[in-house]
Amino acid sequence: MKICNLIKAMTAAVACISVCSCEPHVLTIVEFTETEDISLRIKGAGLLEYKAETHQLGFNRSECEFRVHDDDMANYFIIKCNEMPSATGQKVTADIEYTTPDDVKTRNGIEFEVADINDSNGKIWLWNQKYQIGAVVMALE
C-alpha cells in the first residue's frame, strides 16, 4: 500500500515538473534590450530576425513606418507608429502586421514603450509588456 502511494506521489511530482518546465519564458524589458539584432519577438519566441544576406529593411519617416522582410516577402513585420520614436521611455501607439509559419497576424493600437535608442546606428527597441511584443527596428537615413 505504501509503495503504491509512493508511486502515485512520484508520478504526480514528475507530471508537475514536466508541466512547469514547458511554460514559455516570459521575456522582460531588460532581457529584450540586450537583443542586438533587428528582430521581432512575441512571448519570448523569435518570429523574425534580420539577416543582411536574405532580408531587406524599409523605413518611411513621414509615415513612422518600419519594415523588415525576407527577399521573398514570405516572412515580414511592419510597424506603423502614430509618432516617431525619439526618446527612451516614450510611449507610442502602433499597428503591427507580421507573419507566422502559417498565418498573417495584425494587431492595431498597441502601445509600445521605447525601451532604448541607439543614435549611432539608428536602432530602436520597442516593447509592449501586456502582449510581450518586442521589436528592434532601424530608422534608415
Per-residue pLDDT of the chain (141 residues; tens, 9 = 90+): 556 554 554 555 444 444 444 555 677 888 888 888 999 999 888 889 999 999 999 999 999 999 999 999 899 999 999 999 999 999 999 999 999 989 999 999 999 999 999 999 999 999 999 999 999 999 998
DSSP bridge partners of 3? none
Residue 8 lies in a domain: no
| Residue 32 resides in a domain | yes
Nearest to 110 by CA among 30, 6, 40, 58: 40
Q: What gap in Å lies between CA 23 and CA 102, rounded to an integer?
A: 22
Number of domains in the chain: 1
Amino acid at 89: G
CB atoms within 10 A of CB 127: 21
Domain-located, residue 117: yes
Q: How would you list the strands of the sheet with 76-81, edge to edge?
A: 45-49, 39-42, 133-138, 123-128, 103-118, 91-100, 76-81, 65-70, 55-60
Element (H, E) at 133: strand 133-138
For 107, the domain range is 25-138
What CA–CA distance (Å, rounded) separates 82 from 126? 13
CA quadruple 55, 108, 117, 141: dihedral sign: positive
Residue at 78 is within a domain: yes
Answer yes or no: is 19 within a domain: no
Cβ atoms of 29 and 116 within 8 Å: the answer is: no
Asked whether residue 14 is assigned to any structural domain, the reply reads no
